[in-house]
Structure 1
Amino acid sequence: MNTVFRTYLLPGLVFQSVIIGGGYGTGREIAEFFLSHGAVGGLLGLMTTAAVWAVLLALGFEFARLTKGYDYRTFFQALLGPFWRLFEILYVLIALLVLSVLGSAAGHMVAEAFGVPTVIGSLGLLLAIGALAFFGSKAIERIMAWWSLLLYALYAIFFIYVSVTYGDAIATSLGEGARTGGWLLDGVRYAAYNLIAFAAVLFVLPQLKTRREALVSGALAGAISIVPGILVFVAMLARYLQIQEEAVPVVYLLQLLNAVWLTILFQIVLFGTFVETGVGIIHAINERIGAAMKSAGRAFSRRARLAVAVALLATAIFLAEAIGIIDLIASGYGLLSYAFIAIVVLPLLTIGVFKIVTATPSQLEDHRVSRQQN
């Protein structure tokens, strides 16, 4: 049972853990990319995102298995050759953007809950992410898996509570069948920039030993990861027009519910999702540095991992305080999503597919033998 979990479910749970804070946690991204297209258009956009993830993650997991690319440097050297540093530049830019959004959201949430300056919540996020980054892969893997299961349970409770309280308003929004243009493109764009989480999931893929395991695990990851987004989107239909201007729409909905226990519990778990996302993004950078230092015969200490985390988060928090969450999402995500399509999606669908299809028997045999030995 543990093998089945680690092979087919863990990669999807880790992927979902990394995208949740920057993708669903605040609700701001859902409003920006999907709610603007109406009820039906938004749902179609979310389904587009799920399909894109399923295909690209399946291909990406198999490519990682064949090339043993379990850190993003190794993976993209195999995919892009000498141009792999284009991905690294893009990854760092998106990492800073997502961490800035998380810092801004954490600041807003803590400020509204306790009446303190927003920087307090941002600094709390920095400390939590730095502490977890210090302990490395095994601790991160366990926490991400269990926190994801807790998150699914809480999102389901949140969805049911909103549906029971504002079911008529949600039904009215769905019944109107509003659908505006651009949902297909936004579904692809949203899927593209969230593929930053792919780099963060590579460290759990050595468990995949066969092509079937890689393809099924990747497809399942797409389905696993879209569920929280759909729940948040449908809940947001309860206040379809008003919520589009809210900096943190999920907190706005919780305030409308006037359920103190749910608000407190949700905000605790939501803060945890911010930590998960930040840790996953930073851990991918630490794994890349660690692999490079290992190949050079040098060790990458826990203190060095912590220093990288603190430097990235400090920069991101400065950006969050200077710009703000709504402007960060509106101006930053769109352009970087197109760059991700050019540097990651298109090469994976062309070069990646070609290398997967033309994999030599010896490559496949290496993994078959490895599985027997394990």
Structure 2
Amino acid sequence: MLKRTLSTAMAFVGIVIGAGFATGQEVLQYFVSHGSMGIWGALVSGLVMVAAGTAALQLGSYFLANDHSVVLRRIAHPVVARILDIGVLITLFCTGFVMFAGAGSNMEQQFGWPVWAGSFMMLVLVLLAGLLNVDKVTNVIGSITPLIIIFVAVAVVYAIINSNGDTAVLNAAASEINSATPNWLVSALNYVGLALMMGCSMSIIIGGNNFNPRAAGLGGMLGGLIYGIMMIISTWGLYSVVDSVGQDDVPMLTIVNMIHPTLGLIMSIVIIGMIFNTAISMFYAFGKRATSSRAKLFYPVFAASCVVGWGCSFLGFRTLVGLVYPILGYMGIFLAAVVGIAWMRSLAKIREERNRREKIHELVRRKLDPNLRFSSKQARQLQRYTEESVLETEQIAESVREEVKHDIASDHDQETAEEAVPDEGELSLPEHAGHHHLGEDAKEKKDKDA
């Protein structure tokens, strides 16, 4: 479960921090623009995100959701769910085309490319990635995330060491930045709302890809904690040198270039990776939701939305961040309230379902592992837990099949796992919940005759 939790946490961080964070532009407009008080705003934002991440991923796992509407329909009034659904779809699309603009700004600042060339390069990468399934997309997102953590940490340490330390000068420079919101507390809440609107759909999908709500919840909690720490140190670092980078489109890249041009080159590539993270997450989730009842149309809709979004990106990165993001953030505050209240009300049910699924996992493992005993009593237990679950039998069978296969391969070898675990769609629960090991048929017949 630890590996699954870490993978989920890294994927969640990769979604919610996004390209605006990686470039530093979001942090400038939301937090640094409020001067030294912006650091307190970043702290509040981080604390709220821990709860929001846990709630979103755990609800996704509880319903084993493959798109956000599955959860919204279950936790909110139909009218509210519909409004939020439309709001999330708008957010996915808007954030996606802001990412294309960010790619253009990044490549222009570092390499002198025309803005359209950088954004077109990102369009091609996203179109190719859309051909992968959700597991592969999650792995791609999670694998890139640690790189930005390292670079942000290096940039922050350098910025703090080389800061002039004059608070009056720094606050004066910060006041010249166009702030996204009127004060630091509103910024903190608005930014979490923005992150949740951006990440809600893909977070629910990632949560829904976890059979165990415990692993999903821990992944969301750990991801929220990492997000909070990164937000605080990033705000502190950018504030320390705001007099030098406050008017740049990609201030984090400026800091790294101050350290060494070669590091700046690497950082620009990492930022492109983070932009890719966010762009593929947004358009992938948008396509999944828009074609939830017509899965075969996913890629055409996904590709069309990407192309249209690329056209919208020419409004400019800094302008789009300052104009689009605050509006989405206020919508996100409402979404956060709905998700948070529903999660708190459902904690007992989630806990019961979590325990039930852990027992199902263990029993299916005993059923399929050739070296473990699986009794008729355990078969009846498996049937009862399956019938009591909130999930459909087919959902349980397919989700637990992959996890058990991985467990058997880890304990034995891949060949044993391939032989023991049925192919996709062939594990039947609970109708064929039991099999009998040698001697059990005779024993049961004897007991029955007696």
TM-score tier (shorter): 0.7 to 0.9
Identity rate of aligned residues, in percent?
17
Query: 3-state SS of the aligned residue for 1:134?
Result: coil
Q: 1:4 aligns with which of 2, 5, 18?
A: 2
> What is the identity, as a one-letter code, of the residue corresponding to 2:329?
S
Q: 1:332 aligns with which of 312, 315, 324?
A: 324
Pair 1:78 & 2:74 matched: yes
Question: Counterparts of 1:19 and 1:64 in 2: how far apart (Å)?
Answer: 16
Question: Counterparts of 1:105 and 1:34 in 2: how far apart (Å)?
Answer: 19
Shift of residue 4, structure 1, vs aligned partner: 0.4
Query: 3-state SS of the aligned residue for 1:116?
Result: coil
- In structure 2, the partner of 1:249 is 251
Q: How does 1:258-269 map to 2 (within 5 A)?
A: 259-269=260-270
Question: Counterparts of 2:302 and 2:86 in 1: how far apart (Å)?
Answer: 17
Pair 1:158 & 2:155 matched: yes
Over 3 Å counting, the alpha-carbon distance change for 1:176 and 1:150 in structure 2 is: closer
Pair 1:368 & 2:358 matched: yes
Over 3 Å counting, the alpha-carbon distance change for 1:46 and 1:136 in structure 2 is: same
Shift of residue 337, structure 1, vs aligned partner: 1.3
Shift of residue 173, structure 1, vs aligned partner: 4.0
Q: How does 1:155-304 map to 2 (within 5 A)?
A: 155-164=152-161, 166=162, 168-169=163-164, 171-173=165-167, 182-195=183-196, 196-206=198-208, 208=210, 212-255=214-257, 257=258, 259-289=260-290, 291-293=292-294, 299-300=295-296, 304=297
Unaligned runs of 5+ in 2: 176-181, 365-403, 405-450
Is the 2:98–2:320 Cα contact (8 Å) retained in structure 1? yes
- In structure 2, the partner of 1:307 is 300
Is the 1:200–1:284 Cα contact (8 Å) retained in structure 2? yes
- In structure 2, the partner of 1:296 is none
Over 3 Å counting, the alpha-carbon distance change for 1:367 and 1:175 in structure 2 is: farther
Query: 3-state SS of the aligned residue for 2:35?
Result: helix
- In structure 2, the partner of 1:89 is 86
Over 3 Å counting, the alpha-carbon distance change for 1:247 and 1:113 in structure 2 is: closer
Task: Write 1 or 2 for the structure with the bigger share of helix.
Answer: 1
- In structure 2, the partner of 1:346 is 337
Shift of residue 215, structure 1, vs aligned partner: 3.9
Over 3 Å counting, the alpha-carbon distance change for 1:265 and 1:49 in structure 2 is: same
Question: Counterparts of 2:205 and 2:349 in 1: how far apart (Å)?
Answer: 25
Question: Counterparts of 2:158 and 2:71 in 1: how far apart (Å)?
Answer: 43
Is the 1:103–1:317 Cα contact (8 Å) retained in structure 2? yes
- In structure 1, the partner of 2:34 is 37
Unaligned runs of 5+ in 1: 294-298
Over 3 Å counting, the alpha-carbon distance change for 1:24 and 1:262 in structure 2 is: same
- In structure 1, the partner of 2:115 is 118
Q: 1:134 aligns with which of 131, 144, 154?
A: 131
Q: Map Cα deviations across residues 21-79 of structure 1 (whole Å, 9 max, x no partner).
A: 3441221110111001212x122111111111111222223323333334212111112
- In structure 2, the partner of 1:51 is 47
Equivalences, count: 355
Is the 1:13–1:221 Cα contact (8 Å) retained in structure 2? yes
Question: Counterparts of 1:9 and 1:333 in 2: how far apart (Å)?
Answer: 29
Q: Map Cα deviations across residues 323-370 of structure 1 (whole Å, 9 max, x no partner).
A: 22222122222122112222x112123333223345695x45642333
- In structure 2, the partner of 1:356 is 347
Over 3 Å counting, the alpha-carbon distance change for 1:106 and 1:211 in structure 2 is: closer
Give the aligned CA root-mean-square deviation in angstroms. Answer: 2.9
TM-score (norm 2): 0.71
Is the 2:27–2:235 Cα contact (8 Å) retained in structure 1? yes
Is the 2:156–2:233 Cα contact (8 Å) retained in structure 1? yes
Question: Counterparts of 1:66 and 1:348 in 2: how far apart (Å)?
Answer: 13
Q: Map Cα deviations across residues 67-115 of structure 1 (whole Å, 9 max, x no partner).
A: 3334212111112242323222212222232223222221122123333
Larger Rg computed on CA atoms: 2
Shift of residue 122, structure 1, vs aligned partner: 0.6
